[in-house]
Chain A
Amino acid sequence: MTMSALIIDISLWGSVLVLGIIAFRRGRVVVVSAAREGAMDFINIVPRIALGVIGSGYIAAVIPPEIITGWLGPDSGWLGVLTAVIAGGLTPGGPVVGFSIGAVALKVGGGSPQVIAYVVAWALFAFQRLILWEIPFMPARFVWFRAAVSVPFPFLAAALAMAIGKP
């Protein structure tokens, strides 16, 4: 287990413990019913997560990162931003894949505003994260609503990057 995974687990279970103690001070019944509720949520969510996690490997295998990188060529200007946003939404896999593709794009001559747009779009609405994480936990209507509302913002980020001339 890596160091960062350990830190995540400690802070995560530490938060559970703190909230559990706060709940316990409201009475045993509160803790027990909350814990039961959480466990039921867990049981309910496991099949959804299973489908997402086990399925996402296949989705990622069908959309290899090289295809995405190709979309992020040194095509500058707003057309480049648009392809970057689409590429961000379509990028499969975890944080390593998304950020690495951004790094590769910078190296092969992609402009910063385009790469900013790519990273922001990927963070906001990479379809695989929506499917794998957000849909199982949250009301589907909220997820689609949030994703739709997020669409303008990679473009805004690119515009800001162009305006200030950074990074």
Chain B
Amino acid sequence: MKEPAPADELAEAEAGQRRKRKPVGWSMIFIAVLVAVSATLVYRRDGIDGVLKILTHDLWLFGEILPRVLAGCLLGAFITEILPHEKVSRSLGPNSGLKGLLIGTAFGAILPGGPFTAYPVAAALLTVGADFGATIAMVVSWTLIGYGRAVAWELPILGTDFTLWRIVISLPIPILAGALGRFVYVRMYPKGEPS
């Protein structure tokens, strides 16, 4: 369990309220290598035409996604600015108990938009004091019981019966995943999150 931050440190965080920009980490290097290997395989199989065809298609997709990514980033930034940190830490922090997991689950289920909203908002929640458990509940709830993808894709492709039962079966998962996350977290980082 984390010790509550001293008052002036909290005030400073409140005033600063800036999350660190991410440096290029191992994950990005891993992705770059994976992409390079895949592109080489495509080149050896389909030649330069195959490579270019995928490139133009994906560039098009990229252009389509960009404005939404901007909207997602703005959403995250506004949430970071608007939500009061003490309140978020109380209702979604490490000591928020089952209630925090339920709030995270409900929030993930009603969140509109796609991945370009869910992940910036989840990152903002982490910044303003939600713990891993509540954020896991939110992300898992968004992906499993959020209505967006279910209505747009799953219902037409897999049918009503399958989709509804799949969602019913998934209902407990966000809370359980959040609880498991907390359980593992306090054992992995008994002194709080390393920075």
On A, residues with C-beta under 8 Å from B are 4, 8-9, 11-13, 15-16, 19-20, 22-23, 26, 30, 33-35, 37-42, 44-46, 48-59, 61-62, 95-96, 99-100, 102-103, 106, 112, 115-116, 119-120, 123-124, 129, 131-140, 142-146, 149-150, 152-153, 156-157, 160-161, 164, 166-167
Known: A45-B69, A49-B69, A161-B169. A96 touches B76 (CB 8 A): no
- Residue pair A19, B75 in contact (C-beta under 8 Å): yes
Name the one of B31, B120, B139, B185 contacting A52, with C-beta atoms under 8 angstroms.
B31
Do residues B154 and A99 form an inter-chain contact, with CB atoms below 8 A?
A: yes
B74 touching A38, Cβ below 8 Å: yes
Q: Is B176 an interface residue (CB 8 A)?
A: yes
A9 contacts which chain B residues (CB < 8 A)?
Answer: 67-68
* Chain A binding surface, main DSSP class: helix
> Given the complex, which residues of A lie within 8 Å of B77, measured CB to CB?
34-35, 37-38, 41
Supply 6 further A-B pairs (C-beta < 8 A) apart from A54-B35, A124-B144: A19-B79, A20-B74, A34-B81, A62-B42, A120-B144, A149-B181
Check if B62 sits within 8 Å of A50, measured CB to CB. Answer: yes
Give the CA-CA distance A45 to B75 in the complex, in Å: 14
| Residue in A19, A56, A153 whose beta carbon sits within 8 Å of that of B58 in the complex | A56
Contact A106 B42 (CB under 8 A): no
CA distance A129 to B114 in the complex (A): 12
**A25 CB to nearest chain B CB (Å):** 10
Decide: A146 near B27, CB < 8 A? Known: A50-B62, A55-B35, A157-B170: no
Closest CB of chain B to A65's CB: distance in Å?
13
Most chain A C-beta atoms within 10 Å of own C-beta, residue among B31, B62, B153: B31
* Per-residue contact bits, chain B 26-46, to A (CB 8 Å; 1 contact, 0 not): 111001101100110110001
A167 contacts B113, CB within 8 Å? no
CA distance A47 to B149 in the complex (A): 26
17 CB-based A-B contacts, threshold 8 Å? A11-B113, A15-B71, A26-B82, A35-B74, A37-B77, A39-B73, A45-B73, A55-B32, A58-B39, A58-B51, A61-B41, A95-B154, A115-B162, A129-B115, A137-B76, A138-B122, A167-B162
Residues of A within 8 A of B75 (CB): 12, 15-16, 19, 38
In contact, B176 and A156 (Cβ under 8 angstroms): yes
A138 vs B32: C-alpha distance in the bound complex, in angstroms? 18
Inter-subunit contact B70/A23 (CB<8 Å): no
Q: B162 near A120 (CB under 8 angstroms)?
A: no
| Contact of B10 with A by CB under 8 A | no
The smallest beta-carbon distance between A63 and chain B, in angstroms, is 9
The answer on a CB contact under 8 Å between B54 and A61 is: yes
With A37-B80, A62-B42, A152-B180: A42-B54 Cβ-Cβ less than 8 Å? no
Interfacial chain B residues near A153, Cβ < 8 Å:
140, 173, 176-177
Q: A95 contacts B34, CB within 8 Å?
A: no
Stretch in B1-9, B17-25, B90-98, B101-109 touching the partner: B17-25
Query: Which residue on chain B has the smallest CB distance to residue A157?
Result: B169
Chain B residues near A11 (CB-CB < 8 A): 112-113
